[in-house]
Structure 1
Amino acid sequence: MPDLLWDDVKVLFDPEVSGALPDVVVEGTTVEDWQAVLDLVRAQGWQYAYSVGGEPMELSSVADMVAAAYGGGMPELRVTPELRVWPIPEVLMIFRMYQTESIDFDVNLGELQGQERLDVLVDVFHAIGRRLGKPVWMSAEGSPGHPDLVFDVEADRVVLAFDPGV
């Protein structure tokens, strides 16, 4: 049985209601957690592409991302590294290193329509949440602090963070 049923959550995946790119975050992270996510992406065999300031680059370790994100100690050189991940070819997730203390990524609601695609998202939340031992939160675009979905570590499942019928 899936964690979530499409008919119960489809309102959360309506771009007109939730915005096109909901925010996904894992809070309280470290450089090691970022490395664990990169290792997970590679271990799962998910396709990925790395860029800094829009320029494609090779990514050998998260240390490369940190150096770019923090400008090598020179704030004027800061850029936001992006790791584009495709758990399946039709679904793109964009991880952005704004800071090491949280793992932030976007998903495109247009790519997440129907039970099959919802299950892909849930599987990614499971993989990341289990690997890090931390909750993975999804909220409507620009609505941090008001999550819609969460990977609950103790329950080991993705759950609704509120009643969508309210």
Structure 2
Amino acid sequence: MSDLVWDEVRSFFDLDLMGTLPDVWVANASVEDWQAVLDLVEAHGWSREYLEGDVVKPLPRAAQVLSRPVDAECPSLRVWPALDVLAIFRFLSDDVIDFDVDLRGLQGQGRLDIFCEFITVIGRRLGKPVMMSPEGDWDLGNPVLGFDVEADHVVLLAQPWGA
């Protein structure tokens, strides 16, 4: 069972309110943290696709991706922790693990449970909070929910809209 109840948080998964691809992030990260996430993807056997531009390539080490030339295109890693549940990691910097989740695949309690488990696994492995905010809002410091390290589960960080 999830840390959250769908009927109480559905507004945080509304495409019109949150955008199709809300931001999820881990602050104060390192290259080692990025590698830990890549290792989790491997260890859990989640389906994945690493892209440099439109070219699918084998998943490299985090240090290799993050040390690319400044004028190189930003690679992405698409991860499916379950069928139709998509997270898109973008290697923008080594100090923030930044990814989007596609809300079209996160509708209903079962999908919410998968999402909560996904960010919990990441947060536990890194020992750091994993936050979610509306699309384009992550740098404003207004997360709506996230994995809380001390509580060891996903918690609400804002009042759901319409609640």
Q: CA deviation at 1:31?
A: 0.4
TM-score for both structures, normalised by structure 1? 0.92
Query: What are the within-5 Å matches in structure 2 for residues 66-81 of structure 1?
Result: 66-68=66-68, 71=69, 75=70, 77-81=71-75
**Which residue pairs with 1:99 in the alignment?**
93
Query: What are the within-5 Å matches in structure 2 for residues 10-159 of structure 1?
Result: 10-68=10-68, 71=69, 75=70, 77-144=71-138, 145-159=141-155
Q: CA deviation at 1:147?
A: 0.4
Find the residue that maps to 1:147 and give its secondary structure.
coil
Q: CA deviation at 1:2?
A: 2.3
Partners of 1:26 and 1:128 in 2: how far apart? 9
TM-score for both structures, normalised by structure 2? 0.94
Q: CA deviation at 1:78?
A: 2.6
- Closer, same or farther in 2 for the Cα pair 1:98/1:60, shift >3 Å? closer
Q: CA deviation at 1:52?
A: 1.1
- What residue ranges of structure 2 are gaps of 5+ in the alignment? none
Q: CA deviation at 1:45?
A: 0.7
Report the residue type matching 2:156 in the other structure: L
Partners of 2:59 and 2:13 in 1: how far apart? 32
Whether the 8 Å CA contact 2:78–2:87 is kept in 1: the answer is yes
Partners of 1:33 and 1:2 in 2: how far apart? 25
Partners of 1:14 and 1:57 in 2: how far apart? 33
Whether the 8 Å CA contact 2:130–2:146 is kept in 1: the answer is yes
- What residue ranges of structure 1 are gaps of 5+ in the alignment? none
Aligned identity (percent) is: 52
Report the residue type matching 2:13 in the other structure: F
RMSD value, Cα: 1.2
Report the residue type matching 2:9 in the other structure: V
Q: Mean Cα displacement is larger for which, 51-60 or 7-16?
A: 51-60
- The size of the alignment, in residue pairs, is 160
